[in-house]
Amino acid sequence: MFDKTHNEIVNQIVDVFMREFGSREGMVLVRTPGRVNLIGEHTDYNEGYVFPTTINRAVYIALRPREDLGCGYYSLNFQEKASWELTDIRRTEGHHWSNYLKGVMKVLGEAGVDFKGSEGVVFGDVPIASGLSSSAAIEVAAAFGLDKAFGLGLDPVRMSLLAQKAENAFVGVNCGIMDQFVCRLGRKNHALFLDCRSLVYENVPLRLAKHGLLIVDTKVKRELAQSAYNQRRAECDEAVRFFQSKVPSVKALRDVDPEMFGRYRDGLPETVRRRAAHVVSEDDRVLEAVKALKADDLEKVGRLFFESHRSLKEDYEVSAAELDFVVETARASGASGARLTGAGFGGCAVVLARKDILDGLSQDIEVHYVRKFGKAPGIIALAENFETEVLAL
């Protein structure tokens, strides 16, 4: 179904819903997009800045309320059904799609939100485990769908926080707020600038004009990401303690500006110094990228992409051979900018290039990648992006 049009996807979801549940009466259909982070990597858990945008791949959920407390959902991706009671929500071991729905329902109930059972069909065309937030998309889609089906009136920011809590506390992944936040609050044809400490945000028009974006999925699963992620967080915490000893007002690395970092950096162990160097410079790059996009200076945004990748590769050490190859191939083929996006160690790169060379650049990346690694990357042209919404039937 990944090559089907939006209308074909909707029609198949409705057909399966009717097959599983008898009729479509009372059904609500919602769509929540995945996301790609344009710039601002590993800054979220350091209370810094991020600048993601939603993409043109999404999770769809068709659901309707029930009068009892039972839940039954069918996954089109996995061709299986899962059932549970709201009074007995238990995590299914392994990476099971139903855990994201269960987690959302559990945290909503714990938050005092009043709703009953439901039934539905789930489908997503966001590539799984690629760093494009398929998990956040299904969590937000579940919360949004329940909100619309039961008339809950949930505030969008609160919904994002509850969706994040579902992943942290129930699914068991210690993610920051960026993914759920942009999946819920991102807007069509905009990127979202977010302060991860205050949750103050701004939707910035994504006026690409003569430029376009490619998302290149290396198809490398991020098997080392979790342990390395925890190690990076510990190294950042060590850097914070050091800077606090010099400037007590420092609460997180976002409080360390380039001048402060330059003044005290030599007192840090080399590895910790490089980790902090990335976070401090990346926060600054996000602010510069926002200014550049508002000024329609896409070439500067591209240069910031390349600088970000160098920092992620050399200072934060979260790249991979496949990601570096995509970035360097894009550079050699005339791209304005390219960088790994997401946690790293695999997953995707994002490429910014002029539209007049975009098709040729995409072909170059694919041909050279197959020749080098013996497999084809997944390439998504970000011609448009979605926002979380109820779909008309």
Residues annotated as part of the active site: 179
Report which residue type is found at 328.
E
Long-range Cβ pairs for the range 308-311 (8 Å, 24+): 308/39, 308/41, 308/282, 308/339, 309/338, 309/339, 309/340, 309/349, 311/277, 311/278, 311/281, 311/282
Quickly tell me which residue has 């160690």 as its tokens.
Answer: 345
CA-wise closest residue to 279 among 36, 69, 39, 6: 39
Quickly tell me which residue has 């936040």 as its tokens.
Answer: 181
CA distance 339 to 380: 15
**104 phi and psi angles, rounded to 5 deg:** -65, -45
Other Cβ atoms less than 10 A from the Cβ of 154: the count is 19
Q: Are 383 and 55 in contact (CB under 8 A)?
A: no
